[in-house]
Amino acid sequence: MTLLDIMRTSAVIPVIAIDDPEHAVPLAKALVAGGIRVLEVTLRTKHGLGAIKAMSAVEGAIVGVGTLTQPEEFAAARDAGAVFGVSPGLTPALIAAARSSGLPLLPGVMTPSEVMAAREQGFQQLKLFPAVPAGGVGMLNALAGPLGDITFCPTGGISIETAPQFLKLKNVACVGGSWLTPKDLMQAGDWDGITALAKAASALR
C-alpha cells in the first residue's frame, strides 16, 4: 500500500499512546472491529515500540509509528513492524532517515512555506499540525488553491464533532485524533466502548 492508500483506508487515524503494554492487542482488536484499521502508535511512552510489534500481529491492523523526532527511530520502528511513520515536523535528518529506512513518512507542516519545502523534497502527503491552531478548515481551503496537489491529514485539536468539516474538504484524506482511545476507557478495559467510538468514527466519511 502507498501512503495515500493508507490515508484513505480510515476516515480517522487514532493517535495512540500506550501506557500499559497489556492494552496494545485488545485496543488494536477493538479499533479494527469498529472499522478503524490504520493505527498510529506514538513513541511518547516507553512502550511504543513494543506496542507496535504486538499490534502489528492483529489481523486487519495497519500500524504506523508516530512522534518520530529522531533519525534513529525510523529503523527501530520499521523493525518493530511499522509500515508508515508520522512526524510533527520535517528536518533534513528526518528526510534522510525516512529514505534510508524505506519507511513512508507523513511529515507535519504548519505554514505554506513548510508545505512547499516538503513538496520540494518529494512529499505529497502531509500532516497539518497542529491543525486547529494552524487555521483549521480555513487554512486547508487556502492551501488548496496554490498547492492543490497536496493531500493532508490534519491532526491536533480535532474532535468527532468537528471532523466532518475537515473530511469534506477535497485536499483531506483523513484526520488524526486522540478521542478514539480515551485513557479512562483503556484503563477500565472497556474495549466495547472503544469499538463503539471506532464505529462512530468510521461512519464520518
52 close to 81: Cβ distance less than 8 angstroms? yes
Q: Supply the pLDDT for residue 42.
A: 98
Mean pLDDT of 106-132: 98
Q: With b meaning 16 or more CB within 10 Å and e meaning fewer, what string describes 151-184?
A: bbbbbbebebebbeebbebebbbbbbbbbbbeee
Tens digits of residue pLDDT in 22-32: 999 999 999 99
Tens digits of residue pLDDT in 74-112: 999 999 999 999 999 999 999 999 999 999 999 999 999
| Nearest partner of 89 among 122, 59, 111, 60, judged by Cα | 111
pLDDT exceeds cutoff 90 at 205: no
Active site residue 127: yes
Helix (H) or strand (E) segment spanning residue 31: helix 24-33
Q: Model-level pTM?
A: 0.96
Beta strands in the chain, from DSSP E residues, in sequence order: 12-16, 38-42, 62-66, 85-87, 105-109, 125-128, 151-152, 175-177
pLDDT exceeds cutoff 90 at 69: yes
Pick the catalytic residue from 22, 29, 40, 46. Answer: 40
Question: Whole-angstrom Cα distance, residue 42 to residue 108?
Answer: 14
In this structure, the dihedral spanned by the alpha carbons of residues 52, 56, 58 and 60, taken in order and rounded to 10 degrees, is: 120
Pick the catalytic residue from 29, 53, 73, 127. Answer: 127
Mean pLDDT of 64-77: 98
Active site residue 40: yes
Helix axes 72-80, 48-56, angle to 10 degrees: 30
The cell for 189 is 478495559
Tens digits of residue pLDDT in 139-181: 999 999 999 999 999 999 999 999 999 999 999 999 999 999 9
